[in-house]
């Protein structure tokens, strides 16, 4: 944090912060500015993502989606937010008033604190903690505390169900999430998010995901467990709307309710950013070394763009999964965690150790193996896109036969 | 919770101290209407689930005694709003057999066409809503889109999209034009490949299969003993279809199979069987529709019936294979222009009776799947 503030100060005033007098005041001001910027980003990301997700869902479900408020409905999330702010802040009868009021703060702070250690580009990170990844795991655990508080204090059995499911889910999925990152940490030798990205390369075969079959398994495990920690379908058990009415937030209304979905959408960024920074190369720009990257402002912005694009792709895949898959059952969820994910992780950790000993990163054989892994991964993506294309064209021909017009229209336009 | 039911629950509820009573419904999103379940659970595991019906009782049977024979037809639409055509059909069948009215063959074909279209529409909602209960909302919306096509056809056939009142005593209300026939053919050409697409989307989805297979198994013996009918009974592997065993209307002229559960992904009579039987039935209905459309004869659509229908003292039972199984009406006439007594038998009501037996030891999420797979429609339970 201090170095970044200093850099910014030097950039603005051409003198180091220490010599300017009032240095502590400046630091505090910078802390507030950076915190405000992060909060601004997170809140806006959550809002805009809610709109985008609804539009994507509409496209998947052959519906229209929100298109009334603002041009093409782009201000729908603002309208929703204002509507929820104006709602009555209702506390159910015989609820635990204090816990009920305080629970959303835990969810809110647990999630937004994670943004402190998330990088956005080369050197663009609020605090490059040397325990970055560990910090993110630890701080996001506050969310489950908030959820349990909210579910317990609501004086509703459905909310209690949701809270207990959430406890079971997040506590069991913390383990595969942490275990599946150990190969990355071993390869990097650091927990800092910046160091993890710096250890990778810009080109796909220099990413950790294609390092070995074991890291590939870990990548899949990490993605699944991140979905589970973010309460996304197929693991949205805590708020399974068809089973538990609305789960832990059943009794909430107004702004206190707004915090929960907002945190969920902000969590989408945390999930996707974690996936892309640990396994998908983060902000590394292809064909540009870190030395050249650090020298040029344009290239730093390019690195931000690369990171945002990678993260957005992961966000899109998470959304697509949500609107395609059904929900698993509680026992299946824990079974998946303990009988598949955790053992796979343990095997993969040992496997990565051996792989690192036999094929060190710089050797030519390792590069060849990485290229092979990349080929397999590419084939996998190709198959994925082919399936979507196949089903889309099937649906398209069926629709054209019936209605004699094409179902396609550009993504920015609605009928 | 009424006091009497609390008494019923108490002996079991006190068996373990860990148990709690959960009131599921009548405002629960997946009870498919205004239904209430009193669920005794230990955590997520259900020890007892008691269906508590009666929230939608409208006294339709009593209303029949106040209305003329022909005037009661719109009320039958309201028995089962997802498959109104069958209630229409069974009522006019009962009145016709009492009054000994011969129905022209064209009218009978039109009835079959309308009924089969309605069966497809009803099964679309049923299977889609089950997927929705499991947590996948996309299949439901896709099915709603297909159902919209059927609704459009229905609107062209009989002027209404949901409560049809299409049948008349002695025939049907309107004839269909060649354009409508072409439209139905076009819809079938469009729809049949969509079934495979839907299967790829959800029916063979691994999570979906695991949520439904081996869950809430109803053995064939239980299915018969509890009086299950229709797809629920056939899901347990029993070949029983009113269209085959007591062919009414012109169903004996068509060649179609009765799909039965075979333990497609798990064991016989589980939720997946009941679900998949419905998907197979949609395919059979498509084939019946094609046959009916190709064989439809020319002629009248309505027999000559007196304006004020009076039926001498008599009684009869008529039944059809509705989307939710055997739907029967027991009609007693006393010589006046109104029914003396009408008793309606519906599939959903008997399906509710088995919930208590099957639900023991299930998870809360499985109970949702069970209710969805039984395809209960709340107004049909209570009438």
Cα first-last separation, chain B: 22
Residues of B in contact with A330 (CB under 8 A): 44, 363, 365
Give ipTM to 2 decimals: 0.82
In the DSSP assignment, the letter for residue B104 is P
Mean pLDDT of A251-275: 87
Q: pLDDT category, A231, cuts 50, 70, 90?
A: confident
Mean pLDDT of B210-224: 87
Nearest Cα residue in chain A from B146: A399
* Segment A161-195, tens digit of pLDDT: 888 888 888 888 888 888 888 888 888 888 888 88
Q: pLDDT category, B11, cuts 50, 70, 90?
A: very low
In whole angstroms, how far apart are CA A312 and each of A99, A269, A275?
A: 35, 8, 11
Residues of A in contact with B186 (CB under 8 A): 401-402
Report CA Rg, chain A: 23
Tell me which residue in A62, A157, A236 faces B141 most closely, judged by beta carbons.
Answer: A62
State the DSSP string of B122-189. HHHHHHHHHHHHHT--HHHHHHHHHHHHHHHHHHHHHS-SS----EETTEES----HHHHHHHHHHHH
Question: Are A342 and A175 contacting, i.e. CB atoms less than 8 angstroms apart?
Answer: yes
Query: Chain A: nearest CA to B195, how far in angstroms?
Result: 11
- Assess A400–B contact: CB distance below 8 Å, yes or no: no
Percent of chain A's residues with pLDDT above 70? 93
- Mark yes or no for CB contact B205/A332 under 8 Å: no
- Mark yes or no for CB contact A331/B363 under 8 Å: yes
Angle of CA points A375, A228, A191, to nearest 5°: 70
* Segment A338-355, tens digit of pLDDT: 899 899 999 999 998 998
Nearest alpha carbon to residue B190 among A401, A144, A167, A173: A401
Token digits of residue B17 = 């101290």
- Give the residues across from B246 on adjacent strands: none
Which of A151, A235, A243, A322 is the best residue to mutate to test the B interface, defined by the most B CB atoms within 10 Å of its own CB? A243
Residues of B in contact with A320 (CB under 8 A): none
In whole angstroms, how far apart are CA A79 and each of A308, B225, B339?
A: 26, 55, 56
A–B: how many Cβ contacts below 8 A?
A: 95
Query: Chain A: nearest CA to B367, how far in angstroms?
Result: 9
- pLDDT given for residue A383 in this prediction: 92
Nearest alpha carbon to residue A157 among B358, B16, B37, B369: B37
Residues of A in contact with B134 (CB under 8 A): 242, 326-327
Tell me which residue in B28, B29, B207 faces A234 most closely, judged by beta carbons.
Answer: B207
pLDDT surpasses 90 at A397: no
Query: Chain A: nearest CA to B127, how far in angstroms?
Result: 13
Query: Chain B: nearest CA to A293, how far in angstroms?
Result: 44
Residue where the block lists tokens 């950076």: A34
Residues of B in contact with A61 (CB under 8 A): 137-138, 141-142
pLDDT surpasses 70 at A412: no
pLDDT surpasses 60 at A415: no
- Assess A388–B contact: CB distance below 8 Å, yes or no: no
Please state, as a whole number, how many other Cβ atoms lie within 10 Å of the Cβ of residue B71: 14
- Assess A41–B contact: CB distance below 8 Å, yes or no: no
Token digits of residue A21 = 């007098």
- What is the Cα–Cα distance from B153 to B120, expressed in whole angstroms? 12
B335 three-state secondary structure: coil
- pLDDT given for residue B213 in this prediction: 86
- pLDDT given for residue B306 in this prediction: 80
- What is the Cα–Cα distance from A195 to B42, expressed in whole angstroms? 48
Mean pLDDT of B109-127: 90
- Mark yes or no for CB contact B210/A331 under 8 Å: no
- pLDDT given for residue A285 in this prediction: 83
Q: Is A288 exposed, middle or buried (0-12, 13-18, 19+ CB in 10 A)?
A: middle
Nearest Cα residue in chain B from A58: B138
Nearest alpha carbon to residue A381 among A302, A323, A313: A313
Token digits of residue B147 = 């159902």
Q: pLDDT category, A5, cuts 50, 70, 90?
A: low
- pLDDT given for residue A2 in this prediction: 62
Query: Chain B: nearest CA to A336, how far in angstroms?
Result: 11
- Mark yes or no for CB contact B138/A395 under 8 Å: no
Nearest Cα residue in chain A from B199: A391
- What is the Cα–Cα distance from B52 to B23, expressed in whole angstroms? 10
The phi, psi pair for B194, rounded to 5°, reads -65, -30
Question: Are B373 and B130 contacting, i.e. CB atoms less than 8 angstroms apart?
Answer: yes
Residues of B in contact with A160 (CB under 8 A): none
Question: Are B200 and A319 contacting, i.e. CB atoms less than 8 angstroms apart?
Answer: no
Mean pLDDT of A394-402: 80
- pLDDT given for residue A20 in this prediction: 61
Token digits of residue A213 = 């079959």
Nearest alpha carbon to residue A290 among A127, A117, A123, A118: A123
Question: Are B90 and B329 contacting, i.e. CB atoms less than 8 angstroms apart?
Answer: yes
- pLDDT given for residue A17 in this prediction: 66
- Assess B194–A contact: CB distance below 8 Å, yes or no: yes
User: What average pLDDT is seen over chain B?
Assistant: 85
- What is the Cα–Cα distance from B44 to B133, expressed in whole angstroms? 17
Which of A326, A332, A405 is the best residue to mutate to test the B interface, defined by the most B CB atoms within 10 Å of its own CB? A326
Q: Per 3-state DSSP, what percentage of chain B is helix, strand, and coil (rounded to 5)? A: 50, 15, 35
B39 three-state secondary structure: strand
Tell me which residue in B28, B135, B145 faces A327 most closely, judged by beta carbons.
Answer: B135
Put simply, the chain A residues between 327 and 356 with a CB less than 8 A from any chain B CB are 327-332
- Assess A324–B contact: CB distance below 8 Å, yes or no: yes
- pLDDT given for residue A382 in this prediction: 92
In whole angstroms, how far apart are CA B269 and each of A215, B113, B124, B171?
A: 42, 30, 20, 38
- Assess A402–B contact: CB distance below 8 Å, yes or no: yes
- pLDDT given for residue A411 in this prediction: 64
- Assess B30–A contact: CB distance below 8 Å, yes or no: yes
Question: Are A117 and A193 contacting, i.e. CB atoms less than 8 angstroms apart?
Answer: yes
Sheet with B45-52, edge to edge strand ranges: B20-24, B36-42, B45-52
- Mark yes or no for CB contact B138/A157 under 8 Å: no
Residues of A in contact with B202 (CB under 8 A): 326
Cα first-last separation, chain A: 48
- Assess A161–B contact: CB distance below 8 Å, yes or no: yes
pLDDT surpasses 60 at B10: no
- What is the Cα–Cα distance from B165 to B148, expressed in whole angstroms? 19
For B60-382, CATH number? 1.10.645.10
- Assess A15–B contact: CB distance below 8 Å, yes or no: no
Q: Where are the domains of chain B?
A: 60-382
- What is the Cα–Cα distance from B91 to B327, expressed in whole angstroms? 10
pLDDT surpasses 90 at A379: yes
pLDDT surpasses 60 at B27: yes
Mean pLDDT of A149-153: 88
- Assess B186–A contact: CB distance below 8 Å, yes or no: yes
* Segment B352-369, tens digit of pLDDT: 888 888 888 888 888 888
* Segment A23-76, tens digit of pLDDT: 777 778 878 888 888 888 888 888 888 888 888 888 888 888 888 887 888 888
């Amino acid at each position: 944090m201090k170095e970044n503030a200093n850099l910014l100060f030097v950039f603005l005033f051409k003198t180091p912060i220490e010599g300017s007098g009032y240095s502590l005041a400046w630091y505090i001001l910078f802390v507030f500015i950076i915190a405000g910027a992060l909060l601004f980003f997170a809140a806006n990301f959550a809002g805009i993502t809610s709109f985008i997700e609804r539009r994507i869902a509409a496209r998947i479900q052959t519906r229209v989606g929100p298109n009334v408020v603002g041009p093409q409905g782009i201000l729908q999330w603002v309208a929703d937010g204002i509507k929820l702010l104006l709602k009555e802040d209702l506390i159910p009868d015989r609820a635990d008033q204090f816990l009920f009021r305080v629970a959303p703060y835990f969810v809110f702070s647990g999630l937004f604190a994670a943004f402190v250690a998330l990088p956005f580009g080369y050197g663009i990170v609020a605090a490059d903690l040397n325990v970055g990844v560990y910090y993110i795991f630890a701080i996001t655990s506050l969310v489950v505390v908030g959820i349990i508080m909210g579910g317990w204090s609501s004086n509703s059995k459905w909310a209690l169900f949701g809270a207990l499911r959430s406890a079971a889910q997040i506590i069991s999925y913390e383990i595969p999430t942490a275990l599946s990152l150990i190969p990355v940490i071993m390869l990097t030798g650091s927990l800092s998010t910046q160091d993890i990205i710096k250890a990778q390369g810009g080109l796909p075969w220099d990413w950790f995901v294609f390092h070995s079959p074991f890291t590939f398994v870990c990548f899949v495990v990490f993605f699944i467990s991140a979905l589970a920690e973010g309460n996304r379908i197929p693991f949205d058990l805590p708020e399974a709307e068809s089973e538990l009415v609305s789960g832990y937030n059943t009794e909430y209304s107004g702004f206190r309710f707004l915090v929960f979905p907002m945190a969920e959408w902000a969590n989408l960024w945390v999930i996707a950013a974690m996936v892309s920074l640990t396994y998908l190369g983060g902000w590394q720009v292809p064909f540009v070394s870190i030395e050249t990257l650090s020298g040029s402002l344009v290239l730093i912005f390019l690195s931000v763009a690369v990171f945002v694009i990678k993260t957005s792709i992961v966000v899109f895949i998470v959304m697509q999964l949500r609107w395609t898959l059904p929900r698993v059952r509680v026992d299946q969820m824990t079974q998946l965690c303990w009988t598949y994910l955790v053992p796979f992780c343990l095997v993969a950790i040992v496997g990565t150790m051996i792989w690192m000993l036999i094929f060190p990163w710089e050797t030519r054989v390792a590069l060849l193996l990485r290229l092979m892994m990349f080929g397999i991964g590419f084939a996998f993506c190709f198959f994925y896109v082919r399936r979507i294309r196949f089903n889309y064209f099937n649906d398209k021909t069926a629709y054209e036969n019936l209605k004699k017009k094409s179902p396609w229209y550009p993504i920015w336009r609605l009928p | 919770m009424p006091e009497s039911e609390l008494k019923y629950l108490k002996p079991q509820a006190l068996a373990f101290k860990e148990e709690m009573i959960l009131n599921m419904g009548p405002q629960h999103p997946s009870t498919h209407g205004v239904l209430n379940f009193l669920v005794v659970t230990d955590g997520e595991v259900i020890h007892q689930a008691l269906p508590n019906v009666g929230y939608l009782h409208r006294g339709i049977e009593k209303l029949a005694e106040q209305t003329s024979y022909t005037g009661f037809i719109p009320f039958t639409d309201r028995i089962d709003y997802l498959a109104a055509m069958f209630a229409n059909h069974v009522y006019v069948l009962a009145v016709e057999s009492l009054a000994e009215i011969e129905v022209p063959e064209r009218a009978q074909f039109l009835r079959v066409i309308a009924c089969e279209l309605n069966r497809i529409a009803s099964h679309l909602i049923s299977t889609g809503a089950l997927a929705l209960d499991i947590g996948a909302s996309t299949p439901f919306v896709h099915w709603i889109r297909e159902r919209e096509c059927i609704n459009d056809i229905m609107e062209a056939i009989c002027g209404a999209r949901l409560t049809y009142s299409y049948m008349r005593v002695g025939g049907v209300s309107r004839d269909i034009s060649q354009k409508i026939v072409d439209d139905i053919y076009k819809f079938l050409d469009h729809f049949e490949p969509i079934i495979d697409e839907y299967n790829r989307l959800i029916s063979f989805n691994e999570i979906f299969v695991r949520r439904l297979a081996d869950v809430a198994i109803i053995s064939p013996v239980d299915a018969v003993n509890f009086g299950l009918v229709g797809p629920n009974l056939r899901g347990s592997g029993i070949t029983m279809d009113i269209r085959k065993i007591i062919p009414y209307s012109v169903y004996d002229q068509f060649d179609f199979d009765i799909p039965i559960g075979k333990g497609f992904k798990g064991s016989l009579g589980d939720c997946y069987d009941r679900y998949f039987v419905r998907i197979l039935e949609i395919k059979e209905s498509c084939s019946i529709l094609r046959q009916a459309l190709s064989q439809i004869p020319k002629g009248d659509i309505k027999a000559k019936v007196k304006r004020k229908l009076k039926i001498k003292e008599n009684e009869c039972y008529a039944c059809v294979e509705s989307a939710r199984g055997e739907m029967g009406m027991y009609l007693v006439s006393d010589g006046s222009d109104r029914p003396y007594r009408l008793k309606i038998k519906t599939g959903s009501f008997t399906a509710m009776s088995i919930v208590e037996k099957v639900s023991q030891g299930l998870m809360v999420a499985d109970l949702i799947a069970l209710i969805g797979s039984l395809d209960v429609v709340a107004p049909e339970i209570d009438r």
